[in-house]
Chain A
């Protein structure tokens, strides 16, 4: 269910690392919690991001969620498709609906993130309460 090549955060973001660049998005669990996504607010290419700090928001009809960056670095690309098709986040959160690409300034930060197995266990834990 949760792609193995991605790594996950406690706030339900994922990151796919390729060397010293990363692609970041929100997980299927996050989009389910939010419901129909209507709007996404993202930074611009060139903006800095900091690990554990918010870089944007995702909005559904009834809720707004901050999105936190798993890593520190600089935004190199922003997914332009989401402006006209925010609903992509509901249908394909782990691939086509990536949010931003970043140049990592500290690649070691990904060590502390969860694997797909760990993330699945984490969600199961949270849901059982």
Chain B
């Protein structure tokens, strides 16, 4: 087997040195009744060419030939070639967690740079070295706020990503934490009056997303004021952090967290991604996840180490701030490289490009008969469209034209039947947008009412929920 460096002769010599005559003797302590003697029903063994063909087959049955206007927490952006070139260096991707700092200054310095970039982008004072993803980052932020305030109630915006809300619920169920949901207004933003009346002395945190799941940007300053008056902390989750290059960060928030997948990490059917969490310096000892700090060695040279480890599972064990062990180091490295490549100028230009494209598309769609853009609040690169007729049918028409036109919001918000969440990034060209608009026009003209046809939504096998 090509990955194994020992030859039969090596094995024989080692067995001899151990006084064994066969390799089976090394397992003699395992009781007979639980020894597995059968054959594992697994694919292979395959040569490298055969492995490649196996996965090429799978890759053919994909949506790679379609233009995608899907966002909703996973964003398609162009990944510069330098990202993979650098990630592929064995010293980066085959290294372990940098516990032995002298042998890991590369990873540690890169993570320190990641922490700096995230802090700069979010307008916060400190950031950690990444968490699993946006959904767990939002959850960890809420838990952190609960520890800091010693309160047990969390208020969340209904426009916080539905799956982020599900994850939060899973994590707090046993704590008996009350989770209250605040609806959105006709403008697509958080209902401030509803928030005000929901806040009480038990509220640890208010968790919102901006731009939110419907694409609109929240009034973070006003929300922060309201939240702070009740003694709670404001957590702002950002699922599309490219927005922060052109939208002012929520500097009044206590914790800014979210998903950095947009920065050089492939969409890859949902993972691996990279969560981030940034906050004020005074909260640093309650932060979950790894932290890289600057220090000096015995000769006074600058170096970096994992620090404040006493918060973590390997020391605190049951009293840890979180059970998290891994961060998403390689994905965080991808984000760091990406942000350095684009830099101050490039990231802004890219964000403005996304902004312009999305607004162009929305403008064109709004002009189609029977189509509207229901939410008037400002947005970045995602917006909601009310379709001229049944969304499911329209999506199939778009699919026939090799366009994935958006996410039908009905599955998350029953009141938003026939509304699509449309995301326009720099990866969709104007010709495609115009083609999409044409499909809307044709659809609207025919006034198709959508016959009962097999659903083409993302989860066709799921049955109707009771």
Contact = CB atoms under 8 A, between A and B. Distances in A.
B268 interface: no
Contacts of A63: 310, 315
B212 to A, nearest CB: 37
Interface string B309-334: 11000011001000000000000000
A62 B285 contact: no
B285 A64 contact: no
Which DSSP category, helix, strand, loop or mixed, fits chain A's interface? strand
Contacts of A39: 285, 310
Contacts of A61: 309-310
Interface residues on A, range: under 10
A59 interface: yes
B282 to A, nearest CB: 12
A62 B285 CA distance: 15
A64 B310 CA distance: 6
A60 B308 CA distance: 9
Interface in B284-342: 285, 309-310, 315-316, 319
Interface string B120-131: 000000000000
Interface in A50-97: 59-64
Contacts of B309: 61-62
Interface in B242-294: 285
Q: Which of B315, B316, B319 has the most CB of A within 10 A?
A: B315
B310 to A, nearest CB: 5
A61 B295 CA distance: 13
A40 B43 CA distance: 56
Contacts of A62: 309-310, 315
Contacts of A64: 310, 315-316, 319
Contacts of B285: 39
Interface string A22-64: 0000000000000000010000000000000000000111111
B424 to A, nearest CB: 48
A60 B309 CA distance: 10
A62 B310 CA distance: 6
Closest 10 CB pairs of A and B: A64-B310, A59-B310, A64-B316, A63-B315, A64-B315, A62-B315, A63-B310, A61-B309, A39-B285, A62-B309
Interface of A: 39, 59-64
Given A62-B315, A63-B315, 13 more contacts: A39-B285, A39-B310, A59-B310, A60-B310, A61-B309, A61-B310, A62-B309, A62-B310, A63-B310, A64-B310, A64-B315, A64-B316, A64-B319
8 contacts: A39-B285, A59-B310, A60-B310, A61-B309, A62-B315, A63-B310, A63-B315, A64-B315
